[in-house]
Structure 1
Amino acid sequence: MPNIILDSVRGLQPVPIDDVFLKDRKIFLVGEVNDASCNDLIKQLLYMEAEDNTLPITLFINSPGGQVGSGLAVYDTIRLMKSPVTAVVTGIAASMGSIIMLACDEDKRLMLPSSKVMIHDCSWGHREMGGMKPFEIEQELRQLEQVNERLISIIAERTGNSVEDVSNVTMCDSYFNAEEAIEFGLASKVIDSECLGELMKRNAA
């Protein structure tokens, strides 16, 4: 993690740049959505919520997705918070990364000009089926279908599209550039220099 040098009463000190951003209520989801990354996000979100739930939080996302359960934990946390959270897609918000983005309100989903969003049906995962009985396989498939229905309902609700339309789109990996994401209801705005300047203003509690 890179450090920056700050001048304090103790003199010049190296400070992790993530700590500086956290103080300004800016956090990052970079890389895979998993237990570790999502636990860190939830801790940061709840810390800022406890500090001052009237101030905005900015979540920068560049993620290929990952674990459904971990991602839904972040989604639920953001939805329950009073602090207004803005998502900024800096590279790609794919799979569960897109679901986390959709936790933010419709007017608070921003994208850099070259960024993308990808949505699709959830997949089986990495569990081996060898040695499983037919009933056990049926149970696994039933659970997978239930999870997929939950994700489709989230996308439909948060984008304003019908469940049927979303189901048709998520049958395969569907990529959206910034303009296409806005048209589908996934995002609200492409960031320009003025918008970026507003986002980067210091707003620490």
Structure 2
Amino acid sequence: MPLVPAVTELVVAQLMYLEWMNSKEPVYIYINSTGTARDDGEPVGMESEGFAIYDAMMRMKTEIHTLCIGAAAGHACLVLAAGKKGKRYMFPHAKDSIMPAMIQQPRIPSYGMMQASDVVIRAKEVVHNRNTLVRLLARHTGNPPEKIDKVMRGPFYMDSLKAKEFGVIDKILWRGQEKYMADMLSPEEWDKVAGVRRPDIM
């Protein structure tokens, strides 16, 4: 889903809960989101939604692994890039017909007729959000801010190979890398490690 308030609240709550359950075990974030906009680019959420998830990730002591399984556009691309270095992944063909990771400029929803002063305030907000997004993407991709700023002048689409080259991810989960996924604990084993008892055996 796009990053709307209901999604943000759920993701942040889950991150906090997982850290509380066991801060020594990694948290896996599976991403399939168009960010704060729909597929057609129409804004549906405020940029603060993406920043809220990012801030929650950064405050956690838990190691965070990210995996793009569909799309990662806009702020969802930031979430993907913000995973632990070396633990950021993408499926090779995450989404048919369009590139799975995309960097784009922040936008805000239309609020109809507004006073001129309100338009100026919102324009300043968009510029501030854009500059913040540039700075954070530069930090996590290793690219200079000038390069991020340049590619954000229009939608910048990346397939898995380009995303790896650009520094958004570290590895593509090709065939043969199933061993990494196989090493992950099963849901039952996770529950056992975390001390959670299933309702049917209580």
Does the TM-score normalized on the shorter chain lie above 0.5? yes
Deviation at 1:195, TM superposition (A): 2.5
Task: Give the conservation status (yes or no) of the 8 Å contact 1:76–1:103.
Answer: no
- Is 2:19 aligned against 1:40? no
* The 10-residue stretch of structure 1 (102-111 or 154-163) with the greater mean CA deviation from structure 2: 102-111
Match of 1:73 among 41, 52, 61: 52
Is the counterpart of residue 125 in structure 1 residue 104 in structure 2? no
The TM-score with structure 1 as length reference comes to 0.79
Written as runs of structure 1 = structure 2, the 5 A alignment for 1:5-44 is 31-44=1-14
Out of 138, 141, 150, which is 2:132 matched to? 150
Q: State the partner residue of 1:198.
A: 183
1:163 paired residue number: 145
Structure-2 residue corresponding to 1:86: 65
Shift in Å, 1:127? 2.3
Q: CA deviation at 1:200?
A: 5.5
- Residue 4 of structure 1 is matched in structure 2 by none
Using the alignment, how far apart are the partners of 2:79 and 2:122 within structure 1? 24
Q: Residues 93 and 200 of structure 1: is their aligned pair in 2 closer, same or farther, counting only changes over 3 Å?
A: farther
Query: Which has more strand, going by share of residues?
Result: 1
Residue-pair matches, total: 173
Q: Distance in 2 between matches of 1:75 and 1:88?
A: 15
Is the Cα–Cα contact under 8 Å of residues 117 and 181 in structure 1 kept in the other structure?
yes
Q: Which amino acid aligns with 2:182?
A: G
> Who is 2:39 aligned against?
none
Query: Which one-letter code corresponds to 2:72 in the other structure?
Result: A
Q: Which residue of 2 aligns with 1:103?
A: 82
1:41-60 pair list within 5 angstroms: 41-60=11-30
Q: 2:25 aligns to what SS in structure 1?
A: coil
Q: Distance in 1 between matches of 2:140 and 2:7?
A: 23
Distance 1:132 1:78, change over 3 A: same
Gaps of 5+ in 1: 1-30
Rounded Cα–Cα distance in structure 1 between residues aligned with 2:114 and 2:14? 41
> TM-score of the superposition, structure 2-length normalised?
0.81
Contact 1:79 1:104 in 2 (8 A): no
Q: What is the Cα deviation at residue 184 of structure 1?
A: 0.4
- 2:136 maps to a residue whose letter is I
User: Aligned Cα RMSD in Å?
Assistant: 1.5
Q: After TM superposition, give the deviation of residue 190 of structure 1 in Å.
A: 0.6
Aligned sequence identity (%): 23
1:184 maps to which residue?
166
- The amino acid that maps onto 2:22 is D
The runs of at least 4 aligned residues of structure 1 exceeding 6 Å deviation read none
In the alignment, the residues of structure 1 paired with residue 128 and residue 114 of structure 2 have an alpha-carbon distance, to the nearest angstrom, of 23
In the alignment, residue 132 of structure 1 is paired with which amino acid?
Q
The 10-residue stretch of structure 1 (79-88 or 135-144) with the greater mean CA deviation from structure 2:
135-144
CA contact (8 A) 1:93 1:101 kept: yes
What does the per-residue CA deviation read over 1:93-127, in whole Å, with 9 as the maximum and x for residues that have no partner? 11111111122122121001112211111123222
